[in-house]
Structure 1
Amino acid sequence: MKRRILIYTIFWLSCFFGIQEGTAQLTFASVYRPQDGGSSQESATSIIGLLKKLELTYRTTFVYQKELLENKTFSGPVNENDKLEQILERVLTPANLRFRKLKGGGYTILPRKSPKNQPAETELLKTSINQLPEPETDKVLAMNTLASRVNMQSFSTTKPADILIKGKVTESEKGEPIPGASIVLKGATKGTNTDANGAYSIAVPNENAVLVFSFVGFEKQEITVGNRTQVNVALKNDLKELNEVVVVGFGTQKKINATGAISTIGTKELIQSPVANISNSLVGRLPGLFATQSGGEPGNDGSKIRIRGVGTFSGSTDPLTLVDGIQVDNYNNIDPNEIESVTILKDASSTAVYGIRGANGVLIITTKRGKVGPPKVSYTFNQGFNSFTDLRQMMNSGDYATHFNDAIKADAYVTGTVYVPKYTDQDIELYRNGQDPVFHPNVNWFDVMFKKVSKQSQHNVNISGGQNKVRYFVSAGYFSQEGLFKDTKDVVDAFSPQSLFQRYNLRSNFNFDVTSRLRMTLDLSSQTEARSGNNGSSTERVVGDIARASPLSTPGVVDGKVVNILTGSQNNPYASLLYPNLAGGLKRSYRNYLNGNFRLDYDLGSLIDGLSVHGNVAMQTYNDQQIVNTKTLITYLAVKLPDGTINYVPSTTEAQFGFNQTGTYNRRITAEAGIDYKRNFGAHNVTGLLLYNQQKTFDPSLAFLVPKGYQSFVGRATYDYKGRYLAEVNVGYNGTENFAPGKRFGFFPAYSLGWVASQEPFFPKAGFVTFLKVRGSYGEVGNDNIGGTRFLYRETSYSSVANIYYFGNVGSTYSGFAGIREGATGNPDVTWERAVKQNIGLELWMWKDKIKFTADVFNENRSDILATPQTISSIVGLSQPASNLGKMENKGYEGDITYTDKVGSLGYRISANFSFARNKVLFRDEVPNQYPYQNRTGQRLGQNFGLIAEGLYNTWEEVNASNRPVYSYQNNKVQPGDIKYKDYNGDGVINNFDAVPIGYSNLPEKTFGASIGLTFKGFDLSVLFQGVGNVSHYYTRFQRGTGYGQAPPEGSPNYMNESWTQERYDAGLPIQFPRFSVNSNPNGEGSSYWLADASYVRIKNAEIGYRLTEGLLKKLHISACRIYVNANNLYTWKHMYPGIDPENTATGDTNTEPYPLVRTINTGINLSF
């Protein structure tokens, strides 16, 4: 009785105070629940009896006036699996009743039409409460605390007891429990996680509650509770996440569990770039990947790939490259249509298993494989058109002759001679009007020697499919690319120098399930390359000759004859392009790569659950055959006769037709055997790997004909708890025959940890951040690729040297004679470089996984870098042996972010990546300079040095100023138009001691990429921007146009028209360059004046495509069709002079220039059957 009074008192007080505020809060501490065997008025056919049962079934509460429901009955069956409100509507309507849902939960029962004498709803509520039957202790259910409000228009009762939902979350494929899965009440922050057995329990307010089940790598599921208290869920794999191939050394890992620094790109992005090789397709797409394309020559246009910059100043900086787990030397010959993914491993945790080969990072290419299903045939064709991205515009002969005279005039001060112009006004006019094309030629050699457009084409057809026992992928491809030299065989009787590259690709990947436990893999592939072109000079030399040829030196070809107009040395690009010496001709090269890989995997799960073994053998062969046909190029000297006619006199005589054939070959065999272990112990997941790998390369060119070999013992163990706490240990014990016994093997361990904070119970389950992982690694790796010399622990054999011994009297007549001398002494302590790497990374997914962000900070310290000592005097008389002396550090950061979303039919994806890597030489055995700032130790690798330019001298007053430093160059002969240098050391003299570090290194420190992708119905559009920063390059002699002192004269770019002259200075015209000069002058010294900012931003790729509709595809009887147009190297923003590509720059003042980069416009079609 006391308990009942307390209940009613609390309820009434709640209503009273709530009404005073305009709302009433009321809570039941208990609610009356009669037994099924109650009074007759609460029989199975009465509405009151039904409501009691519904309260129990649906965990809710009904408030009503007892008199209102007395003698009210219903007829017909009631399905308690229906929704509650459907039942109430069906039962109450015939009885002229209605219901109202209370805000805090529960329902009140009211008359459908209130008569005038019927009390108001609030009074009904009060009456119903007063007339509640007296509860019996064993018929009372506990309720929650005060929660509901009531006012004059509406009221509510207490929130009913929450429904306790229990269940289990498993994988859909194997039925294994998923520990740490997230269960969140939709629309609220309330949530929980599954335990080690995948079990969970969560309280929900009512049967309309929706639970959201999720786990990283699985598709989300939303389930309405309904009338259930047990909800079991089987989550399906999210193939987009799980099958995003994350390849690690000697295996694979789920990306969500990886603790190393790994980046991956798929085939879709690779084939967007219409290029001949993979390295160019990777540019701008992966954080941590630095790529530089140094030339555009067909078949020789691959990019130089570096992972996280450069960490050594000796030997190779190339990453280790693997195709399907097997090391390859050339990966640019693989058809992009064969590739499934490309992965780069960047930190020690990822590369330690490769030991002495992993210091420069690892690039892993995974090819496509067949999947269970009917045969699927795909055909790809594209036709491209190439043109140069940029070419320098050269001076015409009239301007050239005028400026040559300006140079002679300016040099009169230096030489002390009277100015006499080389070219008369009549000569200049003839150069301009073209009336004497033989002796007054005006030739733009870039236009004459290069054509505007060349063609390239690509075909690929592949078929894939399989059944449970056999799966296959078979591909055949063809690629052809022409160069941009003009075909001269129709101009002169000679071989065509045109560069032509062709490649044929074949690949077959087979997977066999021999038994339920035995699997077999057989991969076969071949790449055949055919090249043809000039043999007499390298392509770089030919381009250099074209760049330095003056427009007036020779008319080129006249009436099918290669004509010179000057005796002696000539710079005739035709002669250079065709056959500059007797060693000219047509060179055809045929290269063939044949690769095979056989692997067996056997599941030992019947003995030990999760245990398996594997073994594989791979062989690669390489063969190169070169055929050279030669004949002498006949050149002619033009001679003008007294009557004005021109006679062409042969300068060379025809030689016998020549033929030569050479060939090289090698082969490599790789063998591997390993034990794999993978097991789940509740919430504990462990994997393990023990592996032995051996490799031998047989090549006749190797020193002493000794095969080159490696041996590796590899171990790896990973552990994770509920996908929340991650740990990994990788160990490589590797050896090579290249070092002395006792120094051949090294131990390289690496450790990494990860924490998936988003799997913690305290992490918000419905927050903005959906995935958060922090990871770190520390380890050691090595590098034995320390140069071409082998067996440095052995002394070098003696050698015969000409003029090594001299006999006679010094100061008078004496002669040198050949003799024998000892080579370098051996160093038994020489070994590989060792790199200690550290990495901290963050992975973040936000906004329903629409935003994905990754960031890494890394540091590397490289020691034992191989170098020849420089501080030992040469008076010792021996070549010094190589020693492990050098030290470097390389550190930086990188990151990438992707945003993916869809609005109606419009889908879009925006991504960006950025990398920064700065190195520093910590120690280099060098002779200390007089001024420490000139030492290379302490500087970046490739740091540019030079004088600091402070503008130009413009007046004689500046030149003759008393405080002007004395120039040690050209006897201090300085005049207006010369470069003003800074006296850095303050000694009053400008000399080499004033050269300091200027600009940046010639290796970029920053690289970045950004892409935008759009899809709308059948259309798609993508654009990739790529660029580099913090990089400087010196202009070459030809690029800065200072070659007037050469004999014969050399050409100058058109932009040199803005060089300093007194007239331009007086007129206030723009001046970009110092004065012209024929003789030696101080302006050619290396200085900041000629150091260019080589940073750039490029539209690397742009593509638009359209997929045919389903209806049209059915009519055509094909499964898919996409047509597209794309472009590569479309446009570049830069700082360098016009006509100079900042990525395609030469170094030094050589006679060569790289083949210019090309822009490709491509059209294509993809068909699937």
Structure 2
Amino acid sequence: MKNNYWKPGFLSGTVGVSVAHIWAAWALAGTTLAGPGELPAGLTPSSTTTISAPTLPTHNGPAERVAVTVTGQITDETGSGLPGASVVIKGTTNGTTTDANGSYSLSLPTGNETLVISYIGYLSQEIPASGRSRIDVKLVSDSKALNEVVVVGYGTQKRSDLTGSVGSVKSAELLDRPAINVEQSLQGRIAGVNVAINSGRPGGNSNIRIRGYSSINATNNPLYVVDGIIWAAGIDALNPADIENIDVLKDASATAIYGTRGANGVILVTTKRGRKGGTISYDTYVSSATLARKRDVLNAREFLALEDQAYQNVAKFDPAGWASGKYASKDPRIKRTALIGKLFDANLNPLYDVDWQNEITRNAISQNHNLSFTGGGDQTTFGLFLNYNDNQGIIRNTYLKRYTGRLVMDSQLKPWVKVGATLNYSNSDERRGDEGVGGNNIPRMMIEMVPIVPIRYPDGSYGRRQDYPDMESGDNPVALSNEDKRMYKKQVFGANAYADFTLMPGLNFRTTLGANLASQYNPFSETNLVQLTRPFRGYAEIWSYDTKFLQWQNYLTYNKQINANNSLNVVAGVELQKYNYLQWFSGVESLPDNYYEYYNLGVSGNPLPPSSSYNAYQMASYFARANYNYRDKILLTATGRFDGSSRFGANNKFAFFPSAAVAWRLSQEEFLKGSTVISDLKVRASYGLTGNSEINSYQSQANLSTNVSVIGGTRAPGTVIGTLANPNLRWEKTAQYDLGVSMSLLKGRIGIDADVYLKQTRDLLLSAPVPLSSGYASIYKNIGSMENRGLELSLNTVNIDNQTISWSTNFNISFLRNRVTALGDANDDIFPNPYFLNNTNILRVGESVGSFYGLVRTGTWGSAEADEAARYGRRPGDLKFQDLNNDGQINDQDRAITGKGIPTGYGTLSNTVRVKGFDLTLDLQYSYGNDILNLTHHSALDRTGQANSYGEVLNGWTPENQNTMIAQARPSYVYYDSKIDSYKVEDGSFLRGRNLVLGYTLPSELVQRWKLSRLRAYVSAQNFFVLTKYSGYDPEVSTYGDAFAQGIQFFDYPKSRVFTAGLNISL
């Protein structure tokens, strides 16, 4: 029998009641607030309680159940709101998550349900609602997880248990500062991780270096692991909004579990999964981007005046030739007169004055949309995550459009088995304008295109640089933007499935199968409206690439609490990897009509020779790690991995990579327990060995190449051995020593992490000479070594934290010293492939990898130095270089190291202030001690009369202005002096306003009326200022991609200033 009636006047006053009596009444009533025979939390049969009840109005029927909305805030022990905390009605899947301030709003059927509040790293709490409309909850740290969970190789650990150096970025940080790729998400977040966004092009190249450089001829890129599986198809295919957290393994203790793939650090990406209950989220933004900085170039009148001055200076350069009339035909007035009506009026004034930077750039409007659905129950959860990104470039007709989709499922099939799967798909469509460094490179042409030629003539035809005689080949950047169609189309499919078995208490077995499949299709067509150096007008080509990567891993995890003071965690497993890559090319010239583009190559009667290439490798690995914990204060880690790779010589297919680490949590010692200042203090030390297997798959083997010989007057094609085999070729190995300290002060208000490290790489792969009797010039051998020494410091503070305002600061700085320590037996200098007219870099023992190498410019020769200049074959007004060896000549023997592209120090300073629902974030990025080799000076300073120039040439040498670094203006046909020298090296240090965000999260009480759980609006500005001495568009630049190229700049796609407005909505 149930009696759910409220008797008028019952408990209308204050009475003392035995809990036993209440228990009996509770059981008889069979109330829906608790099961029969159950007591409300906190009551026992032997206790008594005082109950005060208000006088209630008379009600003569059954009580109606009225839905109640409860609101509140979930905070940590310091009172800071916890975003993303789960608030669920006990026994159901109905619930919500907290917003960025930790606030929530939830509708309860009766108002008397029990709420379950949980957050990773904190103890869950169950709170009876008891009819209240507001419930604030302060969560306390889990005694078993004093810090957040951190993903490490093949498992997770509490941060308090880490012995290695690991940096993390959480989803809440990513949400507040949206990015279009993972590299942007990481920039400036973690000490020791240098992310250089080197191009302003949508999808432009970036370099990520973790603790410096580890190789010369192999890769320096980190290993990406997404949800436990190596991501081999390009990390740009992953939507940053799908990321739950990023963990970066920096020292060898953390990376050795990845063996040959860990020398450059490991970036572990954990994506979002489904969650119990049901949520729908939609995030969107619209942005406007403009050219952040213009270069000062000559306008039409300045260009023509400089040309006239240069011509007149020929008389001083070659008086005899000038007097003989040798140069009379070069008088600019002659060609200008011939162009009256086309480029000049009757008085030889220019008809056009085009600012090509203005004409080719635009205000680019971009948009991004993320939509996610998650749901499930106690056994199975799922998630669907969708994204569309339309990122328009500031150069006209350049863009990157990307569609991504991700489907995830996890299911607890039985108490002892859990399975899950992830499907990722990405489809990107990109149009570029900065390909190569020649006349079809739009960023170059927007500087070099002469201002006196129009975009189009009245008849609609394009103006061309060659329309003004004597100009170098190259084309109208607007014509290139319209008529050159250079596309990059890429599809990426990623999948992984796992099964996790509990074999016995503490022992789990996990098997995971993953695949990355990428198909890239790069078509290019150029209409016959564009005039370049090709002999045929109308051109098309197609490059195609297929990449396949398969990975299967199986490992056991054993957790054992030995006794109250000792615990053990062991991971051991085996892994197989298989990779193959196929590339092919086809192209044609002389297309009969422009509309064919690259869609029908067969219509051309002039095909180009096709080509193809193939690359494949396989790896087999065994790995193990053991973690020992003594009383939560002494932590030991030992790791080992045994790798075998098909890439290396027959005598060195396998190698072992061990590491060991120890940590001492001094805060657990009696002399620090109870300290009101030091909340946590840990000292770490580690050593480990990792490798680098990312070399050419067939570098250890003899490679065949084609050759044509003439036998008896007849050309006879054949096949020869092009390179020698080296069966002793082995892995590059990096040994790393790390000493670190992690400290938390004042109950977490101040957090400090500091690491000092020594990273030594040996057995570097370099090209070594062999005896000429072998018939070959060189062979790749393991003969070099280098080292990186560094210091990393992170400081996180909570400056103010109360109910009204919170203010937190994050600061990190990294110091790096890189140097080459050996280059073979003789330690001879090595000159990498030149990036331009001659060698730009040098490898020298004792110096930084990628050091710039050139002459030392000291100024220009003055009139009073004419005799001394003549001894060097120079004249007053010529460039003056230092004769370093004093031999009376200026040649390659006078070249010296003039700078380096690797910064001495770099980092960020970030401040976040929250007031009520408002949040304000300011990110500053800085770098110092790095140089830039500005090769654009070759084109825009050294070639008067061939192209337009920087305004800097107006400060060139004249009899009245002899104290200058710029040579006297002369036509290139009499004076051309462009060398790699110190004047082209500029200070690349900078301070950047990287991100400024102002957001507002509407109160939960308000958005609940709209059936929403969260609504945040924000505006932001990216790259809103840069302080630098560098004269180019942006000091964070690298035109080329290898270890030597950081800081070498030759007409890159310029950076933009971006203003964004967005919304974050959750249902």
TM band (smaller chain): 0.7 to 0.9
- Structure 1 Cα separation of the partners of residues 917 and 286 of structure 2: 22
Structure 1 stretch displaced more, 935-944 or 559-568: 559-568
| Structure 2 counterpart of 1:612 | 508
1:897 counterpart SS class: strand
1:696-738 Cα shifts (integer Å, max 9, x gaps): 1243459996742111101000011111001000101111111
- Structure 2 Cα separation of the partners of residues 302 and 704 of structure 1: 24
Equivalent residues, number: 883
- Structure 2 Cα separation of the partners of residues 928 and 1004 of structure 1: 25
Out of 244, 264, 283, the residue aligned to residue 380 of structure 1 is 283
Tell whether the 8 Å contact from 2:463 to 2:476 is kept in structure 1 after alignment: no
Out of 546, 556, 569, the residue aligned to residue 446 of structure 2 is 546
Tell whether the 8 Å contact from 2:941 to 2:952 is kept in structure 1 after alignment: no
| Structure 2 counterpart of 1:793 | 700
Query: Deviation of residue 978 (structure 1)?
Result: 3.7
Tell whether the 8 Å contact from 2:549 to 2:579 is kept in structure 1 after alignment: yes
2:214 counterpart SS class: coil
- Structure 2 Cα separation of the partners of residues 1148 and 1077 of structure 1: 33
| Structure 2 counterpart of 1:559 | 459
2:703 counterpart SS class: coil
- Structure 1 Cα separation of the partners of residues 309 and 512 of structure 2: 73
| Structure 2 counterpart of 1:460 | 370
Counterpart code for 2:635: L
Query: Deviation of residue 1125 (structure 1)?
Result: 0.5
TM-score normalised per structure 2: 0.76
Question: Which residues of 2 match residues 812-823 of structure 1 at below 5 A?
Answer: 821-823=720-722
| Structure 1 counterpart of 2:907 | 1008
Out of 619, 623, 639, the residue aligned to residue 519 of structure 2 is 623
| Structure 2 counterpart of 1:974 | 875
| Structure 1 counterpart of 2:548 | 667
| Structure 2 counterpart of 1:397 | 300
Structure 1 stretch displaced more, 791-800 or 891-900: 791-800
Question: Which residues of 2 match residues 655-804 of structure 1 at below 5 A?
Answer: 663-680=544-561, 681-701=563-583, 707-763=616-672, 765-786=674-695, 788=696, 790-801=697-708
| Structure 2 counterpart of 1:33 | none
Query: Deviation of residue 388 (structure 1)?
Result: 2.0
Query: Deviation of residue 867 (structure 1)?
Result: 1.3
Question: Which residues of 2 match residues 72-87 of structure 1 at below 5 A?
Answer: none
Query: Deviation of residue 259 (structure 1)?
Result: 0.5
Tell whether the 8 Å contact from 1:859 to 1:889 is kept in structure 2 after alignment: yes
Query: Deviation of residue 447 (structure 1)?
Result: 3.5
Counterpart code for 2:863: W
Tell whether the 8 Å contact from 1:601 to 1:613 is kept in structure 2 after alignment: yes
Tell whether the 8 Å contact from 1:1123 to 1:1165 is kept in structure 2 after alignment: yes
Residue 527 (1) aligns with residue 410 (2): no
Counterpart code for 2:529: L
Q: In the superposition, relative to structure 1, how do residues 220 and 585 fare at CA in structure 2: closer, same or farther (>3 Å)?
A: closer
1:545 counterpart SS class: helix
Counterpart code for 1:756: R
2:884 counterpart SS class: coil
- Structure 2 Cα separation of the partners of residues 737 and 445 of structure 1: 55
Query: Deviation of residue 1071 (structure 1)?
Result: 5.0
Query: Deviation of residue 1102 (structure 1)?
Result: 1.0
Residue 574 (1) aligns with residue 456 (2): no
Q: In the superposition, relative to structure 1, how do residues 1039 and 1013 fare at CA in structure 2: closer, same or farther (>3 Å)?
A: farther
Residue 440 (1) aligns with residue 336 (2): no
2:322 counterpart SS class: coil
- Give the structure with higher Rg (CA): 1
| Structure 1 counterpart of 2:960 | 1063
2:702 counterpart SS class: coil
1:192-234 Cα shifts (integer Å, max 9, x gaps): xxxxxxxxxxxxxxxxxxxxxxxx966899xxxxxxxxxxxx9
- Structure 2 Cα separation of the partners of residues 652 and 919 of structure 1: 47
Residue 277 (1) aligns with residue 166 (2): no
| Structure 2 counterpart of 1:472 | 382
1:312 counterpart SS class: coil
Tell whether the 8 Å contact from 1:537 to 1:577 is kept in structure 2 after alignment: no
Residue 251 (1) aligns with residue 155 (2): yes
Residue 263 (1) aligns with residue 167 (2): yes
1:1105-1136 Cα shifts (integer Å, max 9, x gaps): 00112332133221110000012222111111
2:728 counterpart SS class: coil
Residue 882 (1) aligns with residue 882 (2): no
Residue 296 (1) aligns with residue 200 (2): yes
2:968 counterpart SS class: coil
Counterpart code for 1:1010: L
Q: In the superposition, relative to structure 1, how do residues 431 and 382 fare at CA in structure 2: closer, same or farther (>3 Å)?
A: farther
| Structure 2 counterpart of 1:1096 | 990
Question: Which residues of 2 match residues 278-357 of structure 1 at below 5 A?
Answer: 278-299=182-203, 301-329=204-232, 330-357=234-261
2:674 counterpart SS class: coil
Q: In the superposition, relative to structure 1, how do residues 316 and 440 fare at CA in structure 2: closer, same or farther (>3 Å)?
A: same
Out of 867, 874, 878, the residue aligned to residue 960 of structure 1 is 867
Tell whether the 8 Å contact from 1:731 to 1:747 is kept in structure 2 after alignment: yes
2:476 counterpart SS class: helix
Q: In the superposition, relative to structure 1, how do residues 350 and 360 fare at CA in structure 2: closer, same or farther (>3 Å)?
A: same
- Structure 1 Cα separation of the partners of residues 966 and 565 of structure 2: 71
1:595-614 Cα shifts (integer Å, max 9, x gaps): 11111111123xxx311111
| Structure 2 counterpart of 1:947 | 855
Question: Which residues of 2 match residues 121-136 of structure 1 at below 5 A?
Answer: none
Out of 1047, 1052, 1061, the residue aligned to residue 1154 of structure 1 is 1052
Query: Deviation of residue 445 (structure 1)?
Result: 4.9
- Structure 2 Cα separation of the partners of residues 1108 and 437 of structure 1: 67
Q: In the superposition, relative to structure 1, how do residues 652 and 517 fare at CA in structure 2: closer, same or farther (>3 Å)?
A: closer
1:948-984 Cα shifts (integer Å, max 9, x gaps): 333444x4223435xx7943xxxx1231x44443332
Out of 477, 497, 512, the residue aligned to residue 598 of structure 1 is 497
Identity %: 23
1:370-418 Cα shifts (integer Å, max 9, x gaps): 333x211111010011112223131012111222233334444433343
- Structure 1 Cα separation of the partners of residues 706 and 564 of structure 2: 69
2:409 counterpart SS class: strand
- Structure 2 Cα separation of the partners of residues 217 and 653 of structure 1: 67
- Structure 2 Cα separation of the partners of residues 537 and 311 of structure 1: 27
Query: Deviation of residue 875 (structure 1)?
Result: 6.3
- Structure 1 Cα separation of the partners of residues 290 and 826 of structure 2: 48
Query: Deviation of residue 1104 (structure 1)?
Result: 0.4
| Structure 1 counterpart of 2:11 | none
Q: In the superposition, relative to structure 1, how do residues 327 and 431 fare at CA in structure 2: closer, same or farther (>3 Å)?
A: farther
Q: In the superposition, relative to structure 1, how do residues 449 and 569 fare at CA in structure 2: closer, same or farther (>3 Å)?
A: same
- Give the superposed CA RMSD: 3.8
Tell whether the 8 Å contact from 1:966 to 1:990 is kept in structure 2 after alignment: no
Tell whether the 8 Å contact from 1:267 to 1:336 is kept in structure 2 after alignment: no
Tell whether the 8 Å contact from 1:628 to 1:659 is kept in structure 2 after alignment: yes
Out of 1123, 1129, 1135, the residue aligned to residue 1023 of structure 2 is 1129
1:1089-1112 Cα shifts (integer Å, max 9, x gaps): 221011111111110000112332
- Structure 2 Cα separation of the partners of residues 426 and 586 of structure 1: 34
Counterpart code for 1:985: N
Residue 834 (1) aligns with residue 714 (2): no
Question: Which residues of 2 match residues 85-164 of structure 1 at below 5 A?
Answer: none
Structure 1 stretch displaced more, 566-575 or 325-334: 566-575
Counterpart code for 2:206: S
1:960 counterpart SS class: helix
Tell whether the 8 Å contact from 2:650 to 2:728 is kept in structure 1 after alignment: no
Counterpart code for 1:620: N
Counterpart code for 2:412: D
Q: In the superposition, relative to structure 1, how do residues 659 and 740 fare at CA in structure 2: closer, same or farther (>3 Å)?
A: closer
Query: Deviation of residue 1148 (structure 1)?
Result: 12
| Structure 1 counterpart of 2:265 | 361
Q: In the superposition, relative to structure 1, how do residues 480 and 926 fare at CA in structure 2: closer, same or farther (>3 Å)?
A: farther
Q: In the superposition, relative to structure 1, how do residues 1032 and 659 fare at CA in structure 2: closer, same or farther (>3 Å)?
A: closer
Tell whether the 8 Å contact from 1:823 to 1:879 is kept in structure 2 after alignment: no
Tell whether the 8 Å contact from 1:352 to 1:358 is kept in structure 2 after alignment: yes
